Amino acid sequence: MEDRKTIYLCLAHMSEDGVEQKYVKEAFDTNWVVPLGPNVNAFEQDLERFVNHNGSEHKVVALSAGTAAVHLALKACGVGQGDEVCVQSFTFCASSHPITYLGATPVFIDSERETWNMDPDLLEKAILDRKMKTGRYPKAIVPVALYGMPYRIDRIMEIADRYGIPVIEDAAEGFGSRFDGRVLGTFGRFGVLSFNGNKMITTSGGGALVCEDGESKNHIMWLATQARDAYPYYQHSGIGYNYRMSNICAGIGRGQMTVAQAHIDHHKHVQALYEELLKDVKGVTIHKQPGDSRYDSNFWLCTATLDPALHVIGQENAYKEVIKTAVGGAAGVIHAVESPTTDCQPNENVEALRVYMLQKRVECRPVWKPMHKQPVYKDAPAYINGVSEEIFKVGICLPAGPMVTDDDVRYIVDCIKKAIMA
């Protein structure tokens, strides 16, 4: 098996009939090689049909990135200098960084154990405590569908409505995930989607914002196109951004929509196979969705936890050398560090398994490091119960993309078994 292909964590897959190329070619043939255009309009319509399957009438704006969608949603909710926003700590930085773009402060909320997402009880505690300490309620709430798992949106919306705080659903990892039959991103005032190259569907890079109605959509589109007013010349009554999706990227997205449900079904199938093959592997626990039938995860990534007592080949050498290059995904510029360790990191057996699997040409990664443990946010308010830190120390992500076959999953599980020392 040494000459086998590399199994990547998650890479979106083009449709078999190459319809993406058709729409991209149309963009070139008609000279719509710019932001906006027929593909953008059609892609938004496809997305609206997808999110409105239950009869709702949400509108969608296609944007350059999911991060841009978070930024514009916050701005549309009135977030500005000196405000606070409650945001899930257990997430990627794109959920919290846009809060700081606007001069506001993230208030990090830890997770509940079952879904690994925002703990509603801690959320309400934070809201009341911030009101007591600052005299104001937080300006917005941002729950995150971690690895596609639905958050407890019923409780979160109940709390948000009680205190009059808008909810921005970060469903960047949860495209197609549902709660009680309803697509994530359609419960709050706004819903964030991502089409990065490793998401459920891709536009190579890009995102979208789900809006409650046409008026909200028009406002977001205005902000995303430099906030230009309706004159024959350029006049601006507000500060806008160059955040619209390109016609070429949208063409890829139109093709991807034809295989979106197939991708979701495949991820669920891979999750079920991991659950079956890992059920008797002592010390390795695949993370499952709650037994409550309302939860319907897309399982964008399959995740597992390792018992701290589990011994993995090579763990005595974990964290012995400083990493020199980017780890996982596309190579990029990283900030050089002097020490191979931090005060909050995965256990040695998790790091050892990552290295062992990489040697077997299987990409695995640690789960997200909680934002309240990031150096850049060391002074931000945080309401913590220890759950996300605990999971970060023992969690690992397993490949789950459309390119991952049943034989790949069997090979991955076999490698995990071989990595464990008796």
Give pLDDT tens digits for 306-329: 999 999 999 999 999 887 766 665
Question: What pLDDT is attached to residue 196?
Answer: 94
User: Mean of the pLDDT values across residues 283-294?
Assistant: 97
Hey, where are the domains in the chain? 19-259, 261-419
pLDDT (0 to 100) of residue 32: 80
What pLDDT does 297 receive? 98
Q: What is the pLDDT of residue 329?
A: 55
Q: Binning pLDDT at 50, 70 and 90, where does residue 6 land? A: very high
Q: What average pLDDT does the structure give for the chain?
A: 95
Residue 4 confidence (pLDDT) above 80 = no
As to burial, measured by CB atoms within 10 angstroms (0-12 exposed, 13-18 middle, 19+ buried), residue 321 is: exposed
Q: What's the whole-model pTM score?
A: 0.95
In contact, 216 and 33? CB cutoff 8 Å: no
Give percent of the chain with pLDDT exceeding 90: 86
CA angle (170, 300, 297) in 5-degree steps: 75
Give the chain's largest Cα–Cα span: 75
What long-range pairs does 237-242 form, CB within 8 A, spacing at least 24? 241/68, 241/71, 241/72, 242/35, 242/64
Residue 44 has pLDDT above 70, yes or no: yes
Class of the domain covering 19-259: alpha beta
Q: What are the Cα distances from residue 98, in Å, to 87, 174, 355, 400?
A: 11, 19, 33, 28
Q: Of 326, 67, 83, 62, which is closest to residue 220 (Cα–Cα)?
A: 62
Of residues 33 and 132, the one with the higher pLDDT is 132
* 344 residue type, one letter: C
SS3 of 37, please? coil
pLDDT at residue 1, as a whole number: 44
User: Structure tokens of 366?
Assistant: 């640690």
List C-alpha distances in Å: 203 to 75, 89, 169, 257. Answer: 24, 27, 21, 10
* Of 189, 143, 191, nearest in space to 166 by CA: 189
> What does the pLDDT look like over 213-259, one tens digit per residue?
999 999 999 999 999 999 999 999 999 999 999 999 999 999 999 99
User: If one looks up domain 261-419 in CATH, what number appears?
Assistant: 3.90.1150.10
pLDDT digits (tens, 9 = 90+) for 149-206: 999 999 999 999 999 999 999 999 999 999 999 999 999 999 999 999 999 999 999 9
Same fold, 19-259 and 261-419: no
- Asked if pLDDT for residue 28 goes beyond 90, the answer is no
Query: By C-alpha distance, which of 204, 223, 182 is closest to 69?
Result: 223
Angle value at C-alpha 317, between 313 and 320, nearest 5 degrees: 155
DSSP class of 316: G
Dihedral of CA atoms 330, 333, 337, 340 in degrees, nearest 10, equals 10
- Tens digit of pLDDT for each residue in 323-365? 776 666 555 667 888 788 999 999 999 999 999 999 999 999 9
